[in-house]
Amino acid sequence: MFEKVSRFTRRTFFKGAGTAVATTALLGQNTLSAYAASSSSQEALQSSASGVGLNVVLVHGSFVDASSWSKVVALLQAQQYNALAVQIPLTSLADDIAVTRQALASISGPTILVGHSYAGMVITNAGTNVSNLIGLVYAAAYAPEQGESHNDLTAKFPPAPISKHVIASYRSGFRWVDPPAFPADFIQDVPLPVARVLAVSQKPFAPLCFSTPSGAPAWKQVPSWYLVSKNDRTINPDLERFMAKRIGATTIEIASSHASPVSHPEDVFQLILAASRKR
């Protein structure tokens, strides 16, 4: 299902992915029910539960909200992980970091911090000097060095196709992806009706999110894992590979759109499991 590419570890973490457990439909839409697995798959996961006492904090990127993690959360809960999907405001990088830090402070015990897309900027900063943090997981996410912004990283490689379609949204001063372009350039690997629902359910972001430079990165303090989406049309996959290599992450590559937590939740789940088992 995925290709393991990291040269930083020789351990084989994954023994194959099962089908995803049934979840509540993303954004309240029954159209996501096509991804639900059988109850027997859920029972099998529950019978081998290994996440007791472990926290997984998941942070969404721009253009979506915390419901984008719903399938990953269901898989984690079936393994008895304590999962928390944070709703960040997307009003500024500083605001998003602050909310994520509050979420981290609300729980105790060993914690994995996971970010998708823009949220890589958030977890890189929110995870700094958190004593119970044991790992970072980046799902097609930005992984900055100190002083780098989202925009700085994007400029290192040719722009992804979606860049032509980021426009002013209905919210004054906030931006989003032009909805007709969203299915093809953000999440081309789910049924079109699902993608269309997500396109008009976007959470607009403030430009300050993308222009603010990062502080000291948490990936210098704890181990990191990275999932590269080979079919990404939102972030250049070569930029993802560059960032993963630079932070020394254990890396996998999968044939996914940018929105891997929605379209390939099992792969994201398996990478989180790998991170949790390294403690």
The confidence score (pLDDT) of residue 53 equals 86
Asked if residue 271 lies in contact with residue 102, where contact means CB atoms within 8 angstroms, the answer is no
Tell me how far apart the alpha carbons of residues 169 and 205 are, in angstroms, rounded to a whole number. Answer: 9
158-213 per-position pLDDT tens digit = 999 999 999 999 999 999 999 999 999 999 999 999 999 999 999 999 999 999 99
Q: Which two tokens stand for residue 189?
A: 């690997």
For 271, how many CA atoms within 13 A lie in the half-sphere containing its CB?
35
The confidence score (pLDDT) of residue 26 equals 38
CATH classification for the domain delimited by 2-6+50-276, as one of 3.40.50.1820, 2.30.110.10, 3.20.20.70, 3.40.50.300: 3.40.50.1820
Cross-strand pairs, 251: 226
Tell me how far apart the alpha carbons of residues 126 and 100 are, in angstroms, rounded to a whole number. Answer: 6
Report yes or no on whether pTM surpasses 0.95: no
> Measured in whole angstroms, how far is the alpha carbon of residue 143 from the centre of its chain?
12
Which DSSP category does 85 fall into?
A: E
The confidence score (pLDDT) of residue 175 equals 99
